[in-house]
Amino acid sequence: MSSDPLPPEITAITTLSSADAKWVELQRIDWKDQTGKPRLWEVAARKTRGSSGIDAVAIAPILLHPSRPASTLIILQYRPPVAAVCVEFPAGLIDQGETPEAAAIRELKEETGYEGKVISISPTIVSDPGMTTANMQFVVMEVELKDGDPEPQQQLDDGEFIERVVVPLDELHDKLVDYEKNGHAVDARLYHWAAGVDFARSRKW
Amino acid sequence: MSSDPLPPEITAITTLSSADAKWVELQRIDWKDQTGKPRLWEVAARKTRGSSGIDAVAIAPILLHPSRPASTLIILQYRPPVAAVCVEFPAGLIDQGETPEAAAIRELKEETGYEGKVISISPTIVSDPGMTTANMQFVVMEVELKDGDPEPQQQLDDGEFIERVVVPLDELHDKLVDYEKNGHAVDARLYHWAAGVDFARSRKW
């Protein structure tokens, strides 16, 4: 890299019309409720959904290594909507004509350099159904590592700044709490997965 | 109830301007990236965020009963943005001046009738940081039940139709998959928590 990255900076936030927006739009939904009464709902939608009908995939990479604890891989990137560096699972929008499985393999490789195999794919799930139409699939991938494997190269686009961090599964939840204390934003879906793992590991039932 | 609920129905979806919207708006964020280059991001935001700075809470209720397996409580409600009955943790927007903890206790009681104590509150987490400003806190609550306790009454507003379902923790993940197969939408955060629990219970590391 030719020079050190600068801290990203928001210079203006202005109201945007749906007509001027390229990626997202607002919709008014007219609907009849369970009593037959006409009602309204306001919703935000992506304009980019492709033929898969699914906006995005997120990947939980499980790193298996002969001499290190089972770990996952999280990424840190600046997210203008929340004006902070956000801690997330590797993720991305599904390209036109791409399957969710292919998108998961591609995004993991681009954002982290790692190659893995798909272990499970969730059903279609909805990211924030009180507010948006956004949906996604959650993909668990295994990455088998050997002693002495070099750290793979990320394949980032120009202007993409993504840091990857390997975290032992048993430290993930507390690490996310620490990130938030230090001014990062933590993605709700990553947090919920970590909280589920932590709950099951720390409680007996 | 005076008559059986009708199936909810969407009658129209139209583009909405930010000026005409009451609950959500689109914003254009002008920002400078890590190379100093001016860039744009399009984002949807709630207009309703109160003094807590946090939009919403979701609650994982843990039901403890002397003779039944440890369970959680999920809710089913029609969500116009995804045109489906959605399976979610109890959740809701934080009222003006309300703390997240008070909102969690209130929402659990309103939506399910159950009263519990707060066991843990997550840091502020962001619901879909590539697309929206929306944030939330995730609250684990314990509900202690005794043999013979009657099922409590929900406290729903007029026109609110929310079904509650008790699910043993060890059946939660598979039950969510079944719901999706049967045409329901499953909330991504609930799904991730269930997937984390299922992963930790079914794998050794």
For residue A60, what are its two tokens? 């939980």
Q: Considering only CB atoms, which chain A residues are within 8 Å of B94?
A: none
Task: Select the residue of B33, B123, B131 nearest A186 (Cβ to Cβ).
Answer: B123
**ipTM for the assembly:** 0.96
Please name the residues between 99 and 138 in chain A that touch chain B, using a CB distance below 8 Å. 122-136, 138
Mean pLDDT of chain A: 94
Range of the domain at B124: 49-202
Q: How many CB atoms lie within 10 A of CB A18?
A: 19
Q: Total structural domains in chain A?
A: 2
pLDDT of residue A36: 93
Phi, psi for B109 (deg, rounded to 5): -65, -45
Does residue B53 belong to the interface with chain A, where contact is any CB pair within 8 Å?
Answer: no
Instruction: With respect to residue B183, please indicate whether it lies within any of the assigned structural domains.
Output: yes
Instruction: With respect to residue B37, please indicate whether it lies within any of the assigned structural domains.
Output: no
Closest-CA residue of B relative to A23 is: B42
pLDDT, one tens digit per residue, over B90-129 is: 999 999 999 999 999 999 999 999 999 999 999 999 999 9
pLDDT, one tens digit per residue, over A146-159 is: 998 888 999 988 87
Mean pLDDT over A14-22 rounds to 91
Query: Sorting pLDDT into bands at 50, 70 and 90, what band is B3?
Result: low
Domain with residue B98: its CATH number is 3.90.79.10
Task: Select the residue of A16, A135, A196 nearest B194 (Cβ to Cβ).
Answer: A196
B63 min Cα distance to partner chain A (Å) = 11
Q: Are residues A154 and A174 in the same domain?
A: yes
Instruction: With respect to residue B21, please indicate whether it lies within any of the assigned structural domains.
Output: no
Please give the torsion angle defined by the CA atoms of residues A107, A112, A118 and A124, in that order, rounded to the nearest 10 degrees.
-40
Q: Considering only CB atoms, which chain B residues are within 8 Å of A188?
A: 125-128, 135-136, 138, 189
Residues A181, B123: C-beta atoms closer than 8 Å: yes
B163 min Cα distance to partner chain A (Å) = 13
pLDDT, one tens digit per residue, over B118-171 is: 999 999 999 999 999 999 999 999 999 999 888 899 998 887 899 999 999 999
